[in-house]
Structure 1
Amino acid sequence: MNKVPSVDLSDFLSEDPARKQKFINEIGKAYEDIGFVALKGHFLSDQLIEGLYSEIKKFFDLPQEVKDKYEIEGIGGQRGYTSFGKEHAKGRKEGDLKEFWHFGQYVEDNPKLEKEYPENVQVAELPNFNEVGKETYKQLEKTAKYVLRALALHLDLEETYFDKYIKNGNSILRPIHYPPIKEEPKNAVRAAAHGDINLITLLMGAQGRGLQVQNHEGEWIDAIAEPDELMINVGDMLSRHTNNRLKSTIHQVINPPKELWGTSRYSVPFFMHPVSDMPLDVLENCIDDEHPKLYDDITSGEFLYERLIELGLIKV
């Protein structure tokens, strides 16, 4: 496989059973083969995308001392601002060449989770920043719900199997700014090779060259979306839950060629997380004689905590 397959969510949402099944087959095969798809037919309007990019550029253009006041100590970077070079990939010491912001869940009808999750951080200088962030969050969450419904059917589960786990889930919307590169980086890239922690990731802003995906032969493939597409990949939680039937693929964001060092890159991943008590135990129908159970039982909350320590975002 040397190209990321493209699928159209409107097939799944249509009233036509044949089109719906076509989508299930296509996304299921893609996630078993390479773990990535480019998806058309999502719920983001052009106007919303334009508004989001406008606001995040304004935020990252703010003076550093203004941005720094939104970096909240003691919450492992779960909300608000994380400054340049703070996060690194698992197993690496060098910080990635990026700064980012986190929008988190807008909890509905669940006082327990409202207490459990940190509050979203409000940017006083930009009144529209939080509004457009919230709307983008909601539309990506809605898109992710239907992708997971298709995957549930592919796995011979009930269609709404994931719904109860992702409602009020600990999902994160992360606008990222990769600033211009001013000098030769020492072993650092914009985002070092890594797998995602969560169930699935929906990525806005994969239109230019930069994101690369590793196929089964270990080759790096450019993953470039069309203007109307999101790039969506399987995370480690879903891979673990399916006994690696669905692949969490290693990916990276490489540095641009030297003539483009003076340019910024923006991308906006939405990390779809379930509620913390979701059991990630390997699904029974993903275990057989050829595919013995690979993982011990664990909840998503326990798994997330382990990984945040590995990433250097929680100190113990």
Structure 2
Amino acid sequence: MDRIPTLDLRRLDSDRDAFVAELGASYRHFGFCCFSHHGIDDTLIADAYGEFARFFALPTEAKSRYTVTAPGGGGRGYIGFRVETARTSDIADLKEFYHIGRNDGPPDDPVLRPNVWPEQVEGFRAHGLALFGAMEAAGQRVLTAIALDLGLEPGFFAQLTNRGDSILRALHYPPIAPEHLPAVRAEAHEDISLITLLVGATASGLEVLTREGAWLPIDAEPGTLVVNVGDMMQRLTNQAYPSTTHRVVNPTGDAARRSRYSMPFFLAPNMDYLIETLPGCIGRDGNHYPEPITAHDYLLQRLREIRLQTG
């Protein structure tokens, strides 16, 4: 297998066994898989990009009004340019972003914080919530196939993610200026949650580190959904599904003078879920994660490492 495959997600219904086998093979080898016909409307994607770009075009002072400074605030609202830092680096990434979370959590929930919405961009909220819902639905279909590949009931993940602190991240990578170097748009890192969904970014740059130690560019066709394994899934599956290192490299030439936008969706389990190695994933090598940890505690631990959590 020399390239990450693109599978038709409709085959989950029409050709389930073969589809699940191909998906499982891709995740076990790459930690990544791509999907066509995923059900996320192209017009919604384009309109959401437009609304998010209008927000990022605002002056820094206006955007900073939507920074949540309370402990754990990195899970909602605006996070400024050069704040997030990969845990293996001392140099902050060349990006700014905005977090949109679940909007239907109970008001007294100790973990799910309320969203904040920019007043200056009229369609930001509506498009953000619509895209959140569409990506969550697509993610649940992928999780159904993952469950089947792992020998679990099809609804296994649905019951442990129905109150999860999933996050839609609207990302802006500004044009590269000489004074930014040697920083990069996104240093090599792994994601935290169960899976990450990414609808086509507005420019290339995403690369995946293969088992052989080479960087493999992902230049998916327009409209393709890229879905990768996160650290929580890696823990749950005892590394059967690897959380693969990836990065966003700096462009060169004219492309360096243009912004790049992307919209990853981090699909998370319920924060009280105890991440404990699945019995069916403990083989001859034993259990790599003998100490269970709640999703909330693990999330806070990782957010501190990348400077998005101070409390």
What TM bracket, shorter-length normalisation?
Answer: over 0.9
> Which residue does 2:9 correspond to in 1?
9
Q: Which one is further off, 237-246 or 199-208?
A: 199-208
Alignment of 1:175 onto 2:173: no
Measure the CA separation in 2 of the matches of 1:255 and 1:84.
15
* 1:106–1:168 CA contact under 8 A, matched in 2: no
Distance 1:185 1:54 in 2: 26
CA distance in 2, matches of 1:94, 1:242: 31
Distance in 2 between residues matched to 1:185 and 1:127, nearest whole Å: 32
Q: Distance in 2 between matches of 1:293 and 1:302?
A: 20
Deviation at 1:261, TM superposition (A): 1.4
* Residues 249-278 of structure 1 deviation map (CA, whole Å, 9 limit, x = unaligned): 000000001332110000000000111111
- Residue 198 of structure 1 aligns to a residue whose secondary structure is coil
> Which of residues 20, 25, 32 in structure 2 aligns to 1:29?
25
TM-score by length of 2: 0.96
Is 2:243 the counterpart of 1:248? yes
Matched ranges for 1:1-316 at <5 A: 1-12=1-12, 14=13, 16=14, 19-74=15-70, 75-107=72-104, 110=106, 112-113=108-109, 115-183=110-178, 185-206=180-201, 208-289=203-284, 291-295=285-289, 296-315=291-310
Number of positions where the alignment pairs a residue of Structure 1 with one of Structure 2: 309
Task: Classify the secondary structure of the residue corresponding to 1:308.
Answer: helix
Residue type of the partner of 1:93? Answer: D
The amino acid of 1:57's aligned partner reads A
Counterpart Cα distance in 2 of 1:22 and 1:261? 42
Please tell me whether the aligned partners of residues 169 and 265 of structure 2 are also in contact (alpha carbons under 8 angstroms): yes
**2:173 partner amino acid:** Y
Note if contact 2:202-2:262 (Cα within 8 Å) is conserved in structure 1: no
Letter in 1 for 2:309: I
Query: Shift of the alpha carbon at 1:64?
Result: 1.5
The 2-side partners of 1:214 and 1:206 are apart by 19
- Whole-angstrom distance in 2 between the partners of 1:124 and 1:76: 19
**What is the CA–CA distance in structure 2 between the aligned matches of 1:124 and 1:206, rounded to whole Å?**
25
* Cα pair 2:111 2:271 within 8 Å, conserved: no
- Helix, strand or coil for the counterpart of 2:47? helix
Q: Distance in 2 between matches of 1:128 and 1:167?
A: 26
Q: Which secondary structure does the structure 1 equivalent of 2:101 belong to? A: coil
Q: Secondary structure at the match of 2:192?
A: coil
Q: Distance in 1 between matches of 2:108 and 2:210?
A: 41
Percent sequence identity over aligned pairs: 40
Q: Give 1:187 shift.
A: 2.8
Q: In 2, are the aligned partners of 1:205 and 1:266 still within 8 Å (CA)?
A: no
Preserved contact between residue 40 and residue 229 of structure 1 (Cα < 8 Å): yes
Structure 1: runs of 5 or more not aligned: none
Instruction: Say whether the 8 Å CA contact 1:207–1:227 is kept in structure 2.
Output: no
Could you tell me which runs of 5 or more consecutive residues in structure 2 were left unpaired when the two chains were aligned: none
Per mean C-alpha deviation after superposition, the further-off stretch among 240-249 and 65-74 is 65-74
* Compared CA separation, residues 182 and 111, structure 1 to 2 (3 A): closer
The SS at the match of 2:208 is: strand
Partner Cα separation in structure 2 for residue 277 and residue 37 of structure 1:
28
The CA distance in 2 between the partners of 1:126 and 1:260, in whole Å, is 27
Letter in 2 for 1:104: G
In the TM superposition, residue 167 of structure 1 has moved relative to its aligned partner by 0.6
In 2, the alpha carbon distance for the partners of 1:166 and 1:112 equals 19
> In 2, Cα distance between the equivalents of 1:57 and 1:206?
13
Q: Deviation of residue 186 (structure 1)?
A: 3.1
Extract structure 1 runs of 4+ deviating beyond 6 A: none
- In the TM superposition, residue 122 of structure 1 has moved relative to its aligned partner by 1.5
The residue identity in structure 1 corresponding to 2:287 is K
Q: Deviation of residue 43 (structure 1)?
A: 2.0
